[in-house]
Amino acid sequence: MKSNLPGLLIVGSVEEDEGTWRHILEYCPGEARRVRSCHEALAFLQQNPVPVVVCERDLPDGNWKDVLEPLSAMSDPPAVIVTSRLADDHLWLEVLNAGGYDVLTKPLDRQEARRTVALAWQQWAHCRHAVHRGQGA
């Protein structure tokens, strides 16, 4: 049974990958929310923390860095996955060095996207559990 809590935030235009997202969301704990811009993403995340954010490289009002940077100040920052048609080693290194989780090439491969989102969610849950367990000790 799915939780009513957000489990995934998708930032950017998702129409071209709609079928892939429906497939991924069948396996995602919690509900997914979709927003189109950096501003909408940050406003949503201030009120509704989520474990995983999937963000397009380029957005109408900025890019993935404009979403990732403010999240690093959160107590439980989400895992951020960047999507791009121009995914290459340079972008991958840039995302990882900035604290992001991974990069997915568009158009999305269903299995790869589902696996990446699931692993990001599991890593977030594991880190959160370890932090909270450490605070209680």
pLDDT digits 0-9 by tens, 7-43:
889 999 866 677 777 777 776 777 888 899 999 999 9
Residue with tokens 């989520």: 50
Residue 117 C-alpha from the chain's centroid: 8
Which has more pLDDT, 22 or 125? Answer: 125
State which H helix or E strand residue 130 sits in. helix 110-136
Q: Which two tokens stand for residue 80?
A: 């951020």
Residue pair 18/66 in contact (Cβ under 8 Å)? The answer is no
DSSP code, position 60:
T
- Residue 3 confidence (pLDDT) above 60: no
Q: Which residues pair with 31 in a beta bridge?
A: 6
Q: Which domains does the chain have, with CATH numbers?
A: 6-136 (3.40.50.2300)
